[in-house]
Structures are given as structure tokens and as C-alpha cells.
């Protein structure tokens, strides 16, 4: 079996999601090639070549791929992917945008968001907002798979010594152009990569009160997230949303503050190693998944917690 | 310009589904069915574009059993002009849906196709992107803002870490994210009017599409349950537990 793993990167750095995706390929077993498609991204290819378990790196360095436009990258992936038994990408917004398009070009029904490998053609994936786990078998010649990164432990950044091959294809479909990007700037770790995540819900009452969580986060080196209720109420921007339709996180420690625990929120954080819930409503469903529950007014408990750390 | 909107019939988002005891499928007997929330946002966006004078006709398409007519009628009550049902009782996977939509796009020649980014049953998040591949159109997925300017559409997309804006040549595909808009409620007069709007029925066969499933669901099961832990009395005990028992701080 042979795997083509699509690297997640920003032309400067190889992102951690790639390591989890390589891990999923390793769980099936076979030769693993990593495709780095971008512009001015040679450093990313160098980094990918060192990743544990990678036997080859394909570098497609061309302005057509600079912003990961799905129309262009999907064509490249479909072209290169014909020679592999499996094509895998992380189930990030970049992967989810591009991969189904590549699959359709190959006439393949992709399998989204796998959380476990049963065999080379059979995988587990969550459906119905995580309320049900389906075991799905593919009959397509090429398996096209997106990987829920939190479900696979990352392979080591070092340990491999793969060769980097340049790919001389420049697919510009000519139907889309990149206009701009507004990325939230923060000194705190990224939500999906943080080992500690503190999330606030409707109980925070307003956006200013999130300052309390930021302070606590800085003490713990944590990232700050939010429930959909808090995002919908306009307290914080939507890239902070943890849940089935937002970010899926699985940190070592997840602290839910003023979050009731709607099923779609739980779907985004229930694989965290340790869950703490702080909520004044002792009937809140969040307590049914929390390892440690504290029934208290968050406006007293959070500052006290910060002071005691 | 003409817009095509895809609407899917799904188990209502308020229903907590459970696997059947034999693990063959989820139990959807006597369960409330609704229009997929992301599809509802797609209909709303098309209607808003029509109200702005950008769009002249909205065609709502659904696929599946005869009952999908209900979801098309919902779209018609929200402001779509006519409906098309691709009727089949067979299982439809996203690739097959994309192929049927491609056949309808070829006939209808819309300038834009708006779909939900995913359906809340299968959670695949694939159909729009695959329709993009099959038609060669550009795709603005996970849209939080859509602006039509001349022969282009500008789409602001929700991506990990923030927002990205792309410009697509029309015709183009847009898939909706949650915050693109807040769908309106259909008024009673509009629900009555919707009953008189045209609704055509076709089949995958008539469209010349092979819908044979490519994947097989071997089993469905509930997720591993997480056990509730303990309640701590105060912040001091919480800190003590996190330090000494869980050893995470």
C-alpha cells in the first residue's frame, strides 16, 4: 500500500496536523509520501522530510498553490494521487475544502473525518454531531480520507530522512483568486494544538468578561475557546468556537466555564484527557462528562482559581 | 441571474438519534424530519440576493424519497420560485448527489449554486466541493459573507484561525457556514403560496446518473460514554486534585 499525505502548512512552517495525518497513514501501514504544495515552501518540504515514517516528499512549489486554493490544489492532488492506494489530508478547513474536490476528480466517494482505522478499507467516523459512530467500508480503488487529527497521536517531528522530489506541475484552474486573509493574532497557543484549553459559554454574560479567562489562560499557557452560544451572542469571534461545527479539541486539560454542555459542544471537546466544569447550575449536562465539577459562581471561582495557581 | 439551492431532508436538529439495537443504522422511525439547517441558510442567502435585485430566479433542488417534497415546499415558502425533486428510495451518497446536481446544473445553467457546507446527519462536508470538481466551477466554501460584483462573486470564508476572502468567476459554488445569515420564518400566506409554486420531479435514471453507493456502512454504535467524575467543594480542592490526582497542572 502507498499513501499520499497532504501537508498542512503556511509556506513557512509544517503544521502539527500533518503529523497526526501521517500517524493515521502509519496505522494502516505502507510507504508514506508527503505532498507539500505551496509557494516558496522549500523549508516546509525539508521539515516534512525529517518526519518519522515519511519515505518521500513531493514538493510542488508554484504561485498557483500559494494560498491553497482548492481549485488548483485539488487538480494537483488528483493528478499525483492516481499512483497511490490512499490519499489522506487532515480534516482542517484547508483539507475539508480541497479533498472532496480532488476525490470527485478521481471519481471516488471520500470518507470524512475518520477517528479510527479498522483495516486498509474500513474506518470509523462520527455522524449525527458525534452521537453515533459509523464503521464505513470503501469499495473505491483509491481511498480518499480526511483525518480527525485529535484522534491520532502525532508522529515524531524527527527521525525520518526522506528525499525531496520536485513536482513540475502548475495547475491554475483560473476560476478563483485569493483576495485577503484576516487571521486572529494571539500570543496564546492555537486552540487545536494547545495542551490546556479554557472555554467560556453564555454564562460569561459579555465579551469583556472573557478577560478573566485570558488572564487565567496566560497563567496556564492555555488557549481560550468558546461555546456556540457565546459566539452567537457576539461575545467573541467565531474562530474561537469549540464544537461539532467549530473546532474539535482534545487537550490534556479542558476547563469549561459557564458552559451548559449542549451535545454539539461536547462533540468538540469530549476526547480531552481531563475535563473541569465550573457552572452555577448543578443540573448542567456538562457535569455528566466532567472529571471535576465545581458548582460555583464563575465570577468568584475563576479569579480565585487564577490566584491559587 | 438564476440561483440553484440544494436542500436536504434530515432528522431535525433537536432530535437525539440512537443506533438501532442491531447496529445496522440509526433509528429514524417516527422521528421529526426537517430541512438541514445549513441548507436553510443557503435558501435564505439566495432570497436575500433576490431581494437585493442580484438574483432573478431561485430553484430549490432536493433528492431522496417522495417526502423530500416537504423540504422543497419549505424552501418555496421561504422565497424560492420553483422546485425540482430527484426522486429515489435508494441510498444517496455525496458523490451521487453531486453528480445529480451536475446534471441539473447542465440543464438549468444557474450562475450560482448555494449549498449547506454539511448536513447534520452524515456530517460529510463534501457535496459542494465535489460539484465544483464536476462542473469546473470555483468554490467558496464555509461562507460567512457573499457579495456579487459584476461577473464575479466575493466570498469570505471561515477558516481555522480567522477569515479568508476569495474571488470566484461566475458561475460559482458557495457553501454556507452558520453565521452567513439568520434564516427568516416562513409566514402563513407564504406557506399557502408555496403550495401553488411549480415542483417538477425527475429521477437519477432520467438524469443519466449512476448512484451506486461506493461505501458501505458496516455498523453504527453509540460513542464511548464518558463517565461523570466527582464534584469538588471549592476552588482549593479543585487545584489540589488537578495538581496531585490528575497531574495536569
Q: What is the pLDDT of residues B56-110, one digit of tens each?
A: 999 999 999 999 999 999 999 999 999 999 999 999 999 999 999 999 999 999 9
What percentage of chain A exceeds 90 in pLDDT? 91
CA A280, CA A294: separation in Å to the nearest integer? 8
Model confidence at A240: pLDDT above 90: yes
Run of H or E residues at A26: helix A16-28
What percentage of chain B exceeds 70 in pLDDT? 100
Nearest CA to A181 among B141, B179, B163, B177?
A: B163
Residues in chain B within 8 Å Cβ distance of A98 = 129
Cβ atoms of residues B116 and B36 within 8 Å: yes
> Average pLDDT, stretch A190-209?
95
Model confidence at B24: pLDDT above 90: yes
The whole-model pTM stands at 0.92
Nearest CA to B137 among B96, B97, B173?
A: B173
What are the CA-CA distances from residue A159 to residues A49, A156, B89 (Å)? 9, 7, 52
> Average pLDDT, stretch B131-139?
98
* Residue A288: CB atoms within 10 Å: 16
Residue B16 banded pLDDT, cuts 50, 70, 90: confident
Model confidence at A238: pLDDT above 90: no
Among A8, A127, A255, A296, most B C-beta atoms within 10 A, so best to mutate, is A127
Average pLDDT across chain A, whole number: 96
Residues in chain B within 8 Å Cβ distance of A76 = none
pLDDT at B98: 98
A93 touches chain B (CB under 8 A): yes
- Among B159, B167, B235, whose Cβ lies nearest the Cβ of A301? B235
Residue B249 banded pLDDT, cuts 50, 70, 90: confident
- Among A129, A133, A252, whose Cβ lies nearest the Cβ of B220? A133
C-alpha cell at B239: 487545584
pLDDT at B240: 95
Q: What is the DSSP string of B27-82?
A: --TT--EEE-HHHHHHHHHHHHHHHTTS-SEEEEEEEESGGGHHHHHHHHHHT--E
Which residue's C-alpha cell is 486534585?
Answer: B241
Helix, strand and coil in chain B, % to nearest 5: 30, 30, 40
> Exposed, middle or buried by CB within 10 Å (0-12, 13-18, 19+), for A296?
buried
**What does the pLDDT look like over A242-267, one tens digit per residue?**
998 789 999 999 999 999 999 889 98
Nearest CA in chain A to B229: A291
CA A95, CA A51: separation in Å to the nearest integer? 19
> Average pLDDT, stretch B153-172?
95
Name beta bridge partners: A197: A223, A254
pLDDT at A185: 78
- Among B93, B130, B220, whose Cβ lies nearest the Cβ of A101? B130
CA A227, CA A213: separation in Å to the nearest integer? 13
pLDDT at A193: 84
Residue A187 banded pLDDT, cuts 50, 70, 90: confident
Task: Determine, for residues A292 and B124 on separate chains, whether the beta-carbon distance falls below 8 Å.
Answer: no
CA A242, CA A239: separation in Å to the nearest integer? 9
Residue B117 banded pLDDT, cuts 50, 70, 90: very high
A71 touches chain B (CB under 8 A): yes
pLDDT at B113: 98
pLDDT at A184: 78
Amino acid at each position: 500500500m502507498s499513501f499520499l499525505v497532504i501537508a498542512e502548512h503556511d509556506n513557512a512552517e509544517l503544521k502539527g496536523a500533518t503529523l497526526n495525518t501521517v500517524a493515521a497513514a502509519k496505522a494502516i501501514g505502507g510507504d508514506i509520501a508527503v505532498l507539500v504544495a505551496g509557494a516558496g515552501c522549500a523549508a516546509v518540504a525539508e521539515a516534512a522530510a525529517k518526519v518519522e515514517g515519511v519515505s518521500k516528499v513531493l514538493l510542488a512549489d508554484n504561485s498557483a498553490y500559494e494560498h491553497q486554493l482548492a481549485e488548483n490544489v485539488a487538480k494537483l492532488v488528483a493528478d499525483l494521487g492516481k499512483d497511490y492506494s490512499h490519499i489522506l489530508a487532515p480534516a482542517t478547513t484547508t483539507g475539508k475544502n480541497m479533498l472532496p474536490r480532488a476525490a470527485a476528480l478521481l471519481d471516488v466517494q471520500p470518507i470524512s473525518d475518520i477517528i479510527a482505522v479498522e483495516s486498509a478499507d474500513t474506518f470509523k467516523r462520527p455522524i449525527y454531531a458525534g452521537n453515533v459512530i459509523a464503521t464505513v467500508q470503501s469499495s473505491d480503488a483509491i481511498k480518499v480520507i480526511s483525518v480527525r487529527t485529535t484522534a491520532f497521536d502525532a508522529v515524531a517531528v524527527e527521525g525520518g530522512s526522506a528525499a525531496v522530489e520536485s513536482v513540475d506541475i502548475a495547475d491554475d484552474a483560473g476560476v478563483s483568486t485569493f483576495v485577503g486573509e484576516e487571521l486572529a493574532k494571539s500570543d496564546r497557543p492555537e486552540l487545536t494544538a494547545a495542551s490546556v484549553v479554557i472555554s467560556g459559554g453564555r454564562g460569561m454574560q459579555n465579551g469583556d468578561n472573557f478577560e478573566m479567562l485570558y488572564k487565567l489562560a496566560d497563567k496556564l499557557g492555555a488557549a481560550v475557546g468558546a461555546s456556540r452560544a457565546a459566539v452567537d451572542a457576539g461575545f467573541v469571534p467565531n474562530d474561537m468556537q469549540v464544537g461539532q461545527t467549530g473546532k474539535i479539541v482534545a487537550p490534556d486539560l479542558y476547563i469549561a466555564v459557564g458552559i451548559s454542555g449542549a451535545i454539539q459542544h461536547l462533540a468538540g471537546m469530549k476526547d480531552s484527557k481531563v475535563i473541569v466544569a465550573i457552572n452555577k447550575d448543578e443540573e448542567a449536562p456538562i457535569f455528566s462528562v466532567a472529571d471535576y465539577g465545581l458548582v460555583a459562581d464563575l465570577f468568584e471561582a475563576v479569579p480565585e482559581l487564577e490566584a491559587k495557581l | 441571474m438564476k440561483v440553484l439551492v440544494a436542500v436536504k431532508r434530515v432528522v431535525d436538529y433537536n432530535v437525539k438519534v440512537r443506533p438501532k439495537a442491531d447496529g445496522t443504522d440509526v433509528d429514524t422511525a417516527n422521528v421529526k424530519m426537517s430541512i438541514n439547517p445549513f441548507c436553510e441558510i443557503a435558501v435564505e442567502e439566495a432570497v436575500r440576493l433576490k431581494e437585493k435585485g442580484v438574483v432573478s430566479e431561485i430553484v430549490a433542488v432536493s433528492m431522496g424519497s417522495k417526502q423530500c417534497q416537504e423540504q422543497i415546499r419549505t424552501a418555496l415558502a421561504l422565497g424560492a420560485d420553483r422546485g425540482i425533486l430527484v426522486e429515489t428510495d435508494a441510498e444517496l451518497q455525496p458523490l451521487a448527489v453531486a453528480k445529480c446536481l451536475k446534471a441539473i446544473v447542465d440543464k438549468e445553467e444557474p450562475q450560482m449554486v448555494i449549498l449547506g457546507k454539511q448536513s447534520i446527519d452524515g456530517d460529510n462536508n463534501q457535496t459542494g466541493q465535489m460539484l465544483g470538481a464536476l462542473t469546473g466551477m470555483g468554490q467558496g466554501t464555509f461562507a460567512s459573507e457573499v457579495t456579487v460584483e459584476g461577473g464575479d462573486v466575493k466570498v469570505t470564508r471561515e477558516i481555522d484561525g480567522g477569515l479568508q476572502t476569495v474571488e470566484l468567476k461566475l458561475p460559482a459554488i458557495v457553501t454556507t457556514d452558520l453565521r452567513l445569515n439568520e434564516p427568516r420564518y416562513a409566514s402563513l400566506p407564504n406557506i399557502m403560496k408555496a403550495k401553488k409554486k411549480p415542483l417538477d420531479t425527475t429521477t437519477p435514471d432520467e438524469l443519466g446518473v449512476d448512484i451506486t453507493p461506493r461505501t458501505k456502512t458496516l455498523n453504527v454504535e453509540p460513542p464511548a460514554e464518558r463517565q461523570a467524575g466527582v464534584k469538588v467543594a471549592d476552588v482549593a480542592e479543585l487545584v489540589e486534585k488537578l495538581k496531585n490526582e490528575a497531574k495536569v497542572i
